[in-house]
Structure formats: C-alpha cells, structure tokens
C-alpha cells in the first residue's frame, strides 16, 4: 500500500510522517520554582512527545528554592538536582529573563501553545494596615528574606540592625526563619550562601532580642517542630517563655494528631521544664534571646523624635468561637513593645498577571479545579497561585503533579485540541526579538551557576550569589 501511495503522489511531494509538528503538544509553564518544575516533570514523564517550555522573569531558575529557603537549610535545596535533570531533557526549554505580562502577554502565550500553566507563586506580601507601617525599618519578611538570600529586587533595601530589639509579627516558619537568621552567630552564617554584603551588615548587628507576636494562643502557632527545635537549640541564644502561657497545653496535647502533639509537647517542655544540663549551660552563657507573645494584634508602629521606629503598640486579644475555630477579637487593652525593627510575616499574596484571568481577591488565587482554571480550557495553575501560600516543598510537589496529570489527561482526551498547529517558543522568540529581550537559556544559567560556586569556594561557602541583574546577564551570555 505504501508503494501505491508513492506512485499516486505528485512529483516533488514529500510523504509526511504520521507524527508531524502540529501533533506535538506544545506546553508552556510560567514560573521556574518548585511548582513549575514538578509540573513540567510530570508532563514530560507522562507524555512521550510533549514539548515543555518554561518562562522565568529572572535570569536564574528555581524560584523560592534559591531565594526563599533559609541559607542555613542547604539540604532543603537538594531538589535543585532533580530540577536540573528535568531542565536538561531534550523536550524541555528554559527561557529566563522573560516576564509574562510585560515582555510577552498571556494572550500571546495562549496563541502559541496548546496548554499554558501558570506557576508563578505568590510574590506579594500582606500589609498590616496600621499607622506607622511606612516608617523606615518596618519591613515585610518577604523583603527581608529576599535581602539575605540575594534576590536582585531586594538586594539593596535599607535594613538597619543598629538596635538591640526586633519584633516579628507572625508565628509561622518564615517568621521563625527571619528570627533565627537575626540571632545566629556570624561564624555559622558565613558558611552559608548569604551574600558577603549582607554578612557584613549582620556582623555589625546589635540585635539581641527577637519577639514573635501572634494573634492567638500557643496551640495555634503555624511553625513546625523542626523550626522550633532549631530555635530551642540555637547556639548562643536562649528562649524566654512565660510559663503561664503554656500551662493549658498539658490538657490539650493528649487529644491532638501526632504532628501537632509533638510540636506542642516540645513547646510546653521548653516553657515549663528545666532544660537538660548541657542546654542549661548553653542558656546560662547565651547573649541573645527569643520569645513568643500571644493574644496580641499590632495597632500602630511608634516613632521616636528622629522618625525611627521606637516600638509597636499592641492590642490584647480574646478568643471567641468554636474550639479549633477560635477567632481573635481585639479588646481595649493596649501595651507597647519597645523595638527598633519590625518585620511583618503574616502571609503572601498572589496576583493576576493578566486582567482577563479570573481572580479571587479574598484567597489571592486563580480559581481552579485540580489545576484547571475555571472557564478557561487549556489554561492551568500550579503551586501557590492555585492553592494559596500554604505548605512546604512537598505539598507544592503534590500540586505540581496534580496539575501535570490534568494537562496530560486533557491532551489525551482531546479536551485540548493538539491538531491545531501551534508554534510554541518559536512564535514567542519572534515577539521577544522584536522587543529586544535577551533570553537566558539553561546552559547560560549554568555559566552563572559555575561562577557563583567558584566564587563561593574561595570564601569557604556553597556559593557567592550575584545580586545585580546587569552583572547576572553579563555572566550568563
């Protein structure tokens, strides 16, 4: 039959293979953090021919693994090795230094691809909404984390550590992270990938006390046991916990799920029991301390005569509502917590990269079902822009895998029409070339990566991050 077909073909015609470019699913992922990479990994694993292109606004991949994970938690960054293996696959292309919504529109991506996955996270922080919040040295934990992790947009923020007391509003893992960095010995920090300029500031820091303020009680803290254990055992630092805040935990603990039970057991033990001899000796010689303050809501940041932060005015709260669903209600009682630095750590918010996207302002997410964006076939979300800023890398992996499976399922059931020819990155590269946007490939990122690691090795640290965008582009070209 093949011979007969050839005989009937006009001279010069070419027999097209049954799998032509128009049947290759063209998929793009916006965002190169864990959500983006886990989604891409699932798609490449589950579909034999899909092409996945990943767009990232920075010249560097890996999102919050590079710029959000605490620098003294290097083991958490090991997932970068897995992401690199994904990035080196033939059917994957990394396009760095491309900002969706600025350099290229969502409509242009949807025109060029069969499926578009938004995995750009939640990059905005929640404000306190109180007087004095705009004073110098009132910072979001997001910016502070970006500063000590070398995020270009936060590399030059003004952080004044010439104060003996700092307050962190919030009691989650990010709040614990920033408190720990403020209280950790510089001899330990200088072995991490904190940029040298930041290390110089931390070396001059006078911060000796950090208080973490929460709206509700100790049973409602949002940090995990790993982070608490690190604080309890932090060298040169001791906890300062009010025993009366923790007495009632003894009655709650037996009926709690195991993870929560273990966390509150450690919290109660630290507050109510004498430490072991080794820990007691460490606490006795400690020059720094941390504390937790409960049932308090910030109502005003106070300023001294020279305009600098002098304290945080707090309202005392009472709890109302069903057990396990208590809400904090402010009372008329107020108190002042003296400090020279205020860091707000009350959550992150997502945003819509395009006005046409459905967006829930209450949850700051794009409405979806199992990653499929409501009312938008072929459009998907993954990670925090889908779920809200909750969980750790493991939960983000679950979200990424779920969305990746949805993308493949829709391709296989023809819910997404892959017979419609799509140019994929070829079309977008034309758009970017016309605008003069310089794309950074994964191979070019690896050049920058090598530079950072070599610079770090000379200083006895994992890497010395380049924090200037212009310099990053130079080193990656």
Q: What pLDDT sits at residue 13? A: 41
Interior angle at CA 187, CA 183 and CA 193, nearest 5: 85
Checking if the pLDDT of 1 tops 90, the result is no
Q: Tokens 């400690």: give the residue.
A: 286
Q: Which residue has the tokens 């070398």?
A: 150
* pLDDT per position as a tens digit, 390-429: 878 888 999 999 999 999 999 999 899 999 999 999 999 9
Domains assigned to the chain: 19-123+349-440 (3.40.50.720), 127-346 (3.50.50.60)
Residue keyed to tokens 């600025």:
102
CA distance between the termini of the chain: 52
Confidence of residue 263 (pLDDT cuts 50, 70, 90): very high
Tokens of 169: 């509003």
pLDDT for 21: 44
The stretch 3-9 carries a mean pLDDT of: 34
Point out the least confidently predicted range of 7-11, 282-286, 393-397, 472-476. Answer: 7-11
d(CA 297, CA 204): 31
- Tokens for 204, please give them: 């001059």
- Reported as a single tens digit per residue, the pLDDT across 211-222 is 999 999 999 999
Q: What percent of the chain has pLDDT over 90?
A: 90
pLDDT of 310 reads 98
pLDDT in the model for residue 123: 87
Q: Report whether 400 contacts 119 (CB < 8 A).
A: yes
Q: Compute the average pLDDT of residues 11-33.
A: 67
Structural element, H or E, at residue 116 = strand 115-118
Per-residue confidence (pLDDT) for residue 324, from 0 to 100: 75
Percent of the chain with pLDDT over 70: 95
Q: In terms of DSSP bridges, do strands 26-30 and 51-56 run parallel, antiparallel, or are they unpaired?
A: parallel
pLDDT tens sequence across 324-343 = 788 999 999 999 999 999 99
Q: Could you give the maximum distance between any two Cα atoms of the chain, in Å? A: 94
Q: What angle do CA 391, 393, 394 make, to 5 degrees?
A: 85
Residues 348/123, Cβ–Cβ less than 8 Å: yes
pLDDT in tens, 75-87: 999 999 999 999 9
Nearest residue to 418 (alpha-carbon basis) of 119, 94, 21: 21
Q: Which pLDDT score, from 0 to 100, does residue 391 have?
A: 79
Residue pLDDT, tens place only, 232-251: 999 999 999 999 999 999 99
pLDDT digits 0-9 by tens, 37-80: 999 999 999 999 999 999 999 999 999 999 999 999 999 999 99
Angle at 53 between CA 47 and CA 54, to 5 degrees: 120
In Å, what is the CA distance from 347 to each residue of 18, 123, 126, 382, 390?
51, 10, 6, 18, 9
Q: In what order do the strands lie in the sheet with 209-213?
A: 138-140, 341-344, 165-169, 209-213, 288-293, 237-239
pLDDT for residue 350 is more than 70: yes
Judge whether residue 10 has pLDDT over 70.
no
What are the C-alpha distances in Å from 274 to residues 218, 266, 279, 284?
19, 12, 9, 12
Mean of the pLDDT values across residues 125-148?
96
290 class by beta-carbon count within 10 Å (0-12 exposed, 13-18 middle, 19+ buried): buried
Confidence of residue 203 (pLDDT cuts 50, 70, 90): very high
């Amino acid at each position: 039959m093949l011979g007969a077909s050839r005989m009937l073909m006009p001279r010069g015609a070419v027999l097209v293979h049954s799998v032509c470019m128009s049947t290759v699913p063209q998929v793009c992922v916006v965002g190169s953090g864990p959500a983006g990479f886990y989604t891409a990994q699932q798609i490449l694993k589950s579909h034999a021919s899909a092409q996945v292109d990943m767009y990232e606004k920075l010249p560097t991949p890996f999102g919050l693994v590079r710029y959000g994970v605490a620098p003294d938690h290097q083991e958490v960054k090991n997932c970068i090795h897995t992401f690199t293996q994904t990035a080196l696959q033939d059917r994957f292309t990394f396009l760095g230094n491309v900002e969706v919504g600025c350099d290229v529109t969502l409509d242009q991506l949807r025109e060029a691809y069969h499926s578009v996955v938004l995995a750009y996270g939640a990059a905005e922080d929640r404000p306190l909404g109180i007087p004095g919040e705009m004073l110098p040295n009132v910072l979001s934990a997001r910016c502070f984390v970006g500063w000590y992790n070398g995020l270009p947009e936060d590399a030059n923020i003004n952080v004044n550590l010439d104060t003996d007391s700092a307050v962190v509003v919030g009691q989650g893992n990010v709040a614990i992270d920033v408190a720990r960095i403020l209280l950790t010995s510089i001899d330990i920090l200088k072995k991490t990938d904190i940029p040298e300029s930041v290390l110089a500031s931390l070396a001059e820091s006078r911060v000796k006390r950090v208080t973490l303020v929460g709206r509700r009680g100790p049973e409602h803290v949002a940090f995990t046991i790993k982070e608490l254990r690190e604080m309890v055992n932090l060298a040169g630092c001791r906890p300062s916990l009010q025993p009366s805040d923790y007495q009632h935990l003894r009655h709650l603990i037996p009926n709690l799920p195991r993870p929560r039970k273990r966390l509150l057991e450690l919290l109660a033990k630290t507050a109510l029991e004498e430490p072991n001899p080794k820990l007691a000796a460490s606490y006795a010689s400690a020059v720094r301390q941390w504390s937790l303050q409960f049932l308090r809501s910030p109502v005003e940041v106070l300023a001294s005569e020279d305009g600098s932060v002098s304290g945080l005015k707090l309202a005392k709260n009472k709890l109302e509502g069903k057990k396990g669903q208590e809400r904090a209600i402010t009372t008329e009682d107020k108190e002042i917590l003296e400090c020279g630095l205020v860091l707000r750590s009350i959550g992150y918010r997502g945003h819509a990269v395009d006005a046409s996207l459905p967006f829930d302002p209450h949850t700051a997410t794009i409405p979806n079902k199992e990653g499929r964006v409501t009312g938008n076939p072929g459009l998907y979300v993954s990670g925090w822009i889908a779920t809200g800023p909750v969980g750790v890398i493991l939960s983000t992996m679950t979200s990424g895998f779920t969305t990746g499976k949805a993308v493949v399922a829709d391709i296989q059931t023809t819910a997404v029409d892959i017979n419609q020819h799509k140019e994929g990155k070829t079309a977008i590269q034309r758009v970017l070339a016309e605008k003069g946007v310089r794309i950074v490939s994964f191979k070019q990122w690896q050049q920058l990566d090598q530079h950072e690691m070599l610079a770090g090795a000379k200083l006895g640290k994992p890497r010395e991050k380049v924090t200037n965008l212009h310099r990053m582009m130079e080193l990656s070209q």
